[in-house]
Chain A
Amino acid sequence: MTPHILTRSLNRGALIFLLVVAAAGILLPLSNLLLPESSALHVPTYLISLFGKYVCYAILALSIDLIWGYCGILSLGHGAFFALGGYAMGMYLMRQIGSRGVYGNPILPDFMVFLNYKALPWYWYGFDHFWFAALMVLLVPGLLAFCFGWLAFRSRVTGVYLSIITQAMTYALLLAFFRNDFGFGGNNGLTDFKDILGFNVQAEGTRAALFMLSCLALAIGFLICRSVVTSKLGKVLIAIRDAESRTRFLGYRVESYKLFVFTLSACMAGVAGALYVPQVGIINPGEFAPGNSIEAVIWVAVGGRGTLIGAALGAIVVNYAKTVFTSGPLAPYWLFMLGAMFVLVTLLLPKGIVGTVNAWLEPWKAKRLSRNAESAAREDGVIKPNMAE
């Protein structure tokens, strides 16, 4: 990445966001590890894991905003890319268990022994290496998105039809992963993880490190998205979002642009899933549920579509609300509340939280700009009489 596309992506809002993420990523783990439990500022480990989960959701939300907010592609199946990244990481974690499983088989994970597998299926090869799993975290969602996008965008499937087939995609994967003979642990999924890169996944230090890494991934993901949307490519994406066929008549190959952002976005979602799995300790087919993908779109709508920061914020706010409500007496009504929140935001804050705040700040910003121009003009005026003297 050449520097000019990075520097131009950093405006005031972006810098503030990065600072907040960096502060959270450093201070929370430090307080968890260094401060005594009695201290008021001590952040307990369970909160670190919970926040880590939110940060992963924020990355997923960013990836959705990149395609929906800037290119008008409403994917209702992005949970699939998240889950695939999660499974790739889960497979690595399974292989790390080794002979410590219930059945003590050094090669086969417990569920395979239980299902009478004689040997490791070929698609599990390589997952004992972290680098391989990390590669697959990007490659599997990326490739699926590439193939899916290639077919869909080339045939000019857009709008609701595209949304529906993305739902169908995640639903098909849900059914496939539920099957025991598919080789990914059926409905139990992958769990009982022990180590990651030799560190105990349950250990406080590991959890703090995973949280830190998630924040780092969020910051990098944000920078990548900002670089994309502030480049000329970003302008083309917005042009496609607002007037797709007009963009074609200017000589842009619309499907290539869509394919590029869709694939990039899927890779980001995959990374989010990969960081999520060691922090929650399980990945199962439920992650492919169409409802999950829809929920993620709601986060983006609540936070503010097409603002990136809003997407991340929306993911955190909505999930925090979810944690609060689902742990109280209102738990059975959470889905209604989520639905109500979506309807209210659509009606009252169509631009989402960040979009609305931006609109408020607009006149103020304009004033500041014109004030700067004014004072510059005044300075000019001051200089001139001086020169006349």
Chain B
Amino acid sequence: MSLIETRTTSAMLYLDGVHVSFDGFHAINNLSLTLEPGEMRAIIGPNGAGKTTMMDIITGKTKPDKGEVVFDGSVDLTKLDETEIATLGIGRKFQKPTVFESQTIEDNLLLALNVDHRVRGTLFWRRSEPESKRIDRVLEIIKLGDARDRLAGNLSHGQKQWLEIGMLLAQDPKLLLVDEPVAGMTDVETQQTAELLKEINSHDKTVVVVEHDMTFVRELGVKVTCLHEGTVLAEGTIDDVSANERVVEVYLGR
């Protein structure tokens, strides 16, 4: 880090002209996207539009063939690996909920806490009051306080989704990437998840939410980006986007 940060953009997340192809198949095509600090953005798009691949690029799982991916105005994410990107403060919830199934809910959160993640730190780690308090707080928010000692593998699909959101909270990142958070949830849970994400966003967190559920997206009430074949098809309010002819076309099929 240089003393004078050379910000190239004021954006929290800035993607420009990103291309990714898998064996000649262009999954991401000239994708450009900008998120301001503290913004929440909903991403919609039909299956295979490249939403998850976009998150893979931001989190370092997939390297773009071309294009710029800049975090916090100055960090070139294409040069970093998953660990470094996570350490910078980018957290992710996966489309298929991925929790540590053979460990307890509490341990899942403990592992997610943004404390010293180096070998020595974890070997000599001991439970501390502030850490326990944070875990209790997250357990309360995700309503799994009574289940803290249960194995994460025994949770229902919806509960796993919440646990993973809880892990994001424990991780306390600057930028949250949330892939299909309400799949497998009841209407009430969906509603609660929307509230929770809005709450998180209100604490100055930048959030990207990918979701198919339109009621949920409407509930969030934020700017919507529609992806199709790896590129931005439309951007604007949910009403603008759902009225957009091309969006209607890709959703209904040509």
Contacts and interface: CB of A to CB of B under 8 A. Distances in A.
Interface of A: 2, 4-5, 228, 231-233, 235-236, 238-239, 242-243, 245-254, 256-257, 260
B4 to A, nearest CB: 27
A247 B122 CA distance: 14
Given A236-B122, A245-B61, A260-B119, A253 B98 contact: no
Given A5-B123, A236-B111, A245-B61, A251 B100 contact: no
Contacts of B118: 253, 256
Interface of B: 59, 61, 81-83, 86-87, 91-92, 94, 98-103, 107, 110-112, 114, 117-119, 122-126, 167, 171
B124 A235 contact: no
Contacts of A250: 86, 111-112, 117, 167, 171
Contacts of A239: 100, 103, 111
A231 B122 contact: yes
Given A235-B111, A236-B122, A246 B98 contact: yes
11 contacts: A231-B125, A235-B122, A238-B103, A242-B101, A246-B99, A247-B111, A249-B61, A250-B111, A250-B117, A250-B167, A251-B117
Contact of A233 (B81, B107, B119): B119
Given A2-B124, A232-B122, A248 B86 contact: yes
Contacts of B117: 250-253
B81 to A, nearest CB: 8
B110 A232 contact: yes
A351 to B, nearest CB: 12
A228 B125 CA distance: 11
A242 B119 CA distance: 18
A242 to B, nearest CB: 6
Contact of B94 (A5, A246, A254): A246
Cβ-closest 6 pairs across A and B: A251-B86, A232-B125, A248-B82, A233-B122, A232-B122, A233-B123
Nearest to A256: B119
Contact of A228 (B103, B111, B123): B123
A257 B122 CA distance: 10
Given A2-B124, A231-B125, A232-B123, 18 more contacts: A5-B124, A232-B125, A233-B119, A233-B122, A233-B123, A233-B125, A235-B107, A235-B110, A235-B122, A236-B122, A239-B111, A242-B102, A243-B100, A245-B61, A248-B83, A249-B61, A251-B86, A254-B83
Contacts of B125: 231-233
B50 to A, nearest CB: 19
A102 B83 CA distance: 60
A4 B112 contact: no
A4 B127 CA distance: 10
B83 A235 contact: no
Contacts of A232: 110-111, 122-123, 125
